[in-house]
Amino acid sequence: MSEGSIVKRFFAAAQGHLNQMGLRKRAGLFRWVVQENVLGSLGLNYATYGGSHMVDINPVVGVAQLGVERLVAELGLPKSPKYRKYEFPKYVPATYCAPLGYLTPENTYRQWRFWADKASAKAFHEEWVDWDDVFRDMLGAFQRYGIPFVEEYTSLPALCREMATGRLGHPGVKPYRLPVACFLLGDAAGARAALDDELARRRDHADKATGESLQHAQQYLADYREFADRLLARLGSG
């Protein structure tokens, strides 16, 4: 069995289990409708070790506020053809997400390991666990901790407050979603503060950059400045 084969085998099995739970795969994520304009998502990040012997899965749970994602796409999506596959609504990223392990009482990074077969587990001096048992444990954790996490942030005000803490979430997502969420809630001061904080952070990064990283840091700042200017124009007309 090749490395690609064990990954395909895993995702075929995962899709069967998740479809039974009402999740459907779209644009690489397993999704379900939580309520109007709110989607839940489960991403299954994977890593393989020892070639085809095993695949480790890091589930990431997310909630997508469609109003936020629609406006982020309008304000910040580059117009280059290579980004077309990411256009809303064909591609809807999570507005806020967290690895499943950090939502459990242990509050730590966790992966679930799927061995190709008993011989592979034995070769690495580890115990073989049947795939159905691993799925039962992983998806049980998702039901107990992941789904309540999504349901907790179906309210935009609750999601906005949580994003502001910086406790969880992808670091590349918050700078765009937080000011937009504030804007949609009518909190102009909060939106401006979030933009100012991120612009200051990127300016500081650009000021400290040298050599080959300088051009990247300057572009990083310029991209966000364009996004900020577009949102500020909306704030000014609101």
Per-position pLDDT tens, the chain of length 238:
555 689 999 999 999 999 999 999 988 899 999 999 999 999 999 999 877 899 999 999 999 999 999 999 888 755 545 445 556 667 788 999 999 999 999 999 999 999 999 999 999 999 999 999 999 999 999 999 999 999 999 999 999 999 998 888 888 889 999 999 999 999 999 999 999 999 999 999 999 988 889 989 998 899 899 999 999 999 985 5
By CB neighbour count within 10 A (0-12 exposed, 13-18 middle, 19+ buried), where does 121 fall?
A: middle
Nearest alpha-carbon partner for 62 in 110, 112, 17, 28: 28
List the structure tokens of 134: 């691993």
Nearest CA to 174 out of 155, 159, 185, 158 is that of 159
- Give CA–CA dist 214/205, Å, rounded: 9
107 φψ region: left (φ > 0), alpha (ψ -120 to 50), beta (else): left
* R_g (Cα) of the chain, nearest Å: 20
What angle do the packed helices 156-165 and 174-184 form, to 10 degrees? 140
Q: Which of 91, 99, 123, 94 is nearest to 27 (CA)?
A: 91
The pair phi, psi for residue 56, each rounded to 5°, is -100, 135
The pLDDT of residue 82 is 47
Contact criterion met (CB below 8 Å) for 42 and 23: yes
Q: Do 65 and 41 contact (CB within 8 A), yes or no?
A: no
pLDDT for residue 172: 85
**So what's the pLDDT on residue 27?**
82
